Amino acid sequence: MGDAIQQLLTHSVETVIEREHLEKRLRAGTPLRVKHGIDPTGPKIHLGRAVVLWKLREFQDLGHHVVLIVGDYTAQIGDASDKTQRRAPLTTKQVQENLKGYLDQIAKIIDVAKAEVRYNSEWLAKLDGQDLVALAREFTVYQMLARRNFKDRFDGGREIGLDEFLYPLFQGYDSVAVKADVEIGGSDQLFNLTAGRKIQEHFGQPPQDILTTKMLIGLDGRKMSTSWGNVVNITDSPTDQFGKLMSLRDDLTPEYLELASGLPASKVAELTAALKAGTSPRDIKAQMAEAVVARYHGESAARRAAAEFSAVFGAGGFPEDAPPVAVSAREQTALELVMASGLAPSKSEARRLIAQGAVELDKSILRDANERVIVRSGSQLRVGKHRFAKIVLADND
């Protein structure tokens, strides 16, 4: 138990508040209400978000009560943490669409059946004007502008919406509604989590302890973002997960070993040391990728994905389990085909890949986004190094 508590408080952890208080309660075996909120701003959960969920699972394995708050209300506002500009608000319909299958994905990590799952519209939708004013009195504009991202935007003359100031108030009120003993989140959430402590004290509750995890960077070294296409989703196929992870920048491999692989700390240290000692980055990366795939799909699937990757990229082949993509037109432009395949996150990224010669249709390189191409059911499309699709025509030619 002691080792498990030490692991919980240190592995992948950025900050703990109050460390001594939390550790004392953990070692006393006191069952704690451990809160984590997740906004369904998109339909898929990526490895970055999974870091916190795995930490939540550690609490659960130690016998603590997990309170998972699905932010169906707060998702319509949008968390400003680490955002360089205002984010577009989501409609209720968009949030409901994103929620489909959401808990099924989370269930790959935590035991949802044993968790308390709440939706924060349950209490936030009932707040009136007086309630909002009372919450707002607990904070100052100076405190809000002291946040790095708000300060940068203010200094740069970029908009900051008043609704963005409300988000930490609502997240803090979530802690009051569920009487949280502990709240965990990514390191970018620290302001919001500490807001919860302040608001709990306002309502006469003991302030929650806080644990934040390190942030997992995207495959290309930028912030992990679905819109940039630098993510690995936990529901991606074994082949896709392995291929994407093998495209990771070499210098980020130790970070993925620590935060995404699920390997024991001793093994992570061993592989990281081997990397520093000159072992091939590709070999270490392959071990990391296999561990990640095993975590979500099982060891057999991970071994098959590793073997297929080696065979495909050693012989210039095409993966057998490349996902099928339905297209409606036999003839279309290269750009239209790439966008229809879903293998590029945006038109600008698709154009860039085509211009770089990184798109192949049936082993022919497409170099002009406006080039008209003929496809058939069974055509093989490759976009970038590790993204593949088998074309299926809607008319089933």
Domains of the chain: 2-213 (3.40.50.620), 236-315 (1.10.240.10), 324-393 (3.10.290.10)
Strand 33-38, strand 182-186: pairing? parallel
Cα 69 from Cα 118, distance rounded (Å): 5
Average pLDDT value for residue range 349-369:
85
DSSP β-bridge partners for residue 382 = 360, 388
Average pLDDT value for residue range 232-241:
92
- pLDDT: is 362 or 181 the higher one? 181
Q: Dump pLDDT digits (tens) for 127-181.
A: 999 998 998 888 888 888 887 778 888 888 888 888 888 888 999 999 999 999 9
Average pLDDT value for residue range 218-222:
85
- pLDDT: is 337 or 229 the higher one? 337
Cα 394 from Cα 397, distance rounded (Å): 8
Average pLDDT value for residue range 118-132:
92
pTM for the whole structure:
0.78
Main-chain phi, psi angles of 37, to 5 degrees: -110, 140
Reported confidence tier of residue 2, pLDDT bands at 50, 70, 90: low
Average pLDDT value for residue range 215-233:
83
Q: Which of 1-5, 190-194, 379-383 has the lowest mean pLDDT?
A: 1-5
Beta strands in the chain (DSSP E): 13-17, 33-38, 65-70, 116-119, 182-186, 209-213, 324-327, 331-333, 359-361, 364-365, 372-374, 380-383, 387-393
In this predicted structure, the answer to whether residue 85 has a pLDDT above a threshold of 70 is no
Q: Dump pLDDT digits (tens) for 300-334.
A: 999 999 988 887 765 556 776 677 777 777 888 98
Alpha-carbon dihedral 342, 346, 349, 355, rounded to 10 degrees: 70
Give the pLDDT score at 128: 92
Give the pLDDT score at 24: 94
Cα angle for residues 226, 248, 103 (degrees, 5° grid):
40
Give the pLDDT score at 82: 57
Give the pLDDT score at 285: 93
Whether 144 and 150 have beta carbons less than 8 Å apart is answered as yes
Cα angle for residues 312, 317, 322 (degrees, 5° grid):
80
Q: How many CA atoms lie within 13 A of 172 on its CB side?
A: 28
Average pLDDT value for residue range 347-355:
86
Reported confidence tier of residue 80, pLDDT bands at 50, 70, 90: low
Residue 2, C-beta contacts closer than 8 angstroms, at least 6 positions apart: 27
Average pLDDT value for residue range 45-62:
95
Average pLDDT value for residue range 3-9:
90
Q: Dump pLDDT digits (tens) for 258-304.
A: 999 999 989 999 999 999 998 888 899 999 999 999 999 999 999 99
Cα 289 from Cα 308, distance rounded (Å): 13
Give the pLDDT score at 396: 44
